[in-house]
Amino acid sequence: MPTIAMSTMPASVSAQKPILVYTTNYCFYCLRAKRLLSARGYAFTEIDVSDDSVQRAWLVEKTKRRTVPQVFIDGRSVGGYDEIAALDRRGELARMVRGEP
């Protein structure tokens, strides 16, 4: 069974779309993704799939990627650290989290 952890953020983020971050406990890019989201003040749920082959298989099927982290915003796969960092640089990450087009 995967380990699930929730970040704690101020109440002001309650209007944000839900963010799920699938990680492993030995992944440097997972740490970077969590730090980026935290630095922007976004609450997220971390799902550690380090020892869960069933959840990892589902993740590969869903995203067509074998790597972690895999980030989902409001149920939509948006990629890993490199992708969310690029979205952040363009200002698109904030819009996605707010649910704007």
> Can you give 22-71 as a three-state secondary structure string?
EECCCCHHHHHHHHHHHHCCCCCEEEECCCCHHHHHHHHHHHCCCCCCEE
Supply the CATH number for residue 91's domain.
Answer: 3.40.30.10
Q: Is 72 helix (H, G, I), strand (E, B) or coil?
A: strand
User: Residue 41, class by beta-carbon neighbours within 10 Å (0-12 exposed, 13-18 middle, 19+ buried)?
Assistant: middle
pTM: 0.86
Domain count, the chain: 1
Task: Note the pLDDT tens digit of each residue in 40-92.
Answer: 999 999 999 999 999 999 999 999 999 999 999 999 999 999 999 999 999 99
Band of the pLDDT at 8, cuts 50, 70, 90?
low
**What domain range is 60 assigned to?**
3-8+16-98
